[in-house]
């Protein structure tokens, strides 16, 4: 039996955290909920994974 080791590298675009903080600020100020589909789309664009 063989054993394989896989490491996953997760990278996040530089603008993702400021975007989330801005989104949280707008939610706190307006009391509205963010559009879940748009948020999911932004997350898919900002977060990358790579198996090494």
The helix (run of H) or strand (run of E) holding residue 48 is: strand 47-51
At residue 1, the pLDDT reads 84
Check if the beta carbon of residue 27 is closer than 8 Å to that of residue 33: yes
Report yes or no on 34 lying in a domain: yes
Report yes or no on 12 lying in a domain: yes
**Number of domains present in the structure of the chain:** 1
Q: What is the pLDDT of residues 1-52, one digit of tens each?
A: 899 999 999 999 999 999 999 999 999 999 999 999 999 999 999 999 999 8
Report yes or no on 47 lying in a domain: yes
Find, among 23, 19, 21, the residue nearest to 46 by Cα. Answer: 19
Report yes or no on 1 lying in a domain: no
Domain of residue 40, residue span: 8-51
Residue 51 tokens, joined: 């198996």
């Amino acid at each position: 039996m063989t054993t394989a080791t896989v490491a996953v590298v997760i990278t996040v675009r530089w603008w993702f955290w400021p975007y989330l903080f801005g989104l949280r600020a707008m939610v706190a100020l307006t009391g509205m909920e963010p559009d879940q589909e748009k948020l999911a789309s932004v997350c898919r664009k900002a977060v990358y994974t790579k198996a090494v």
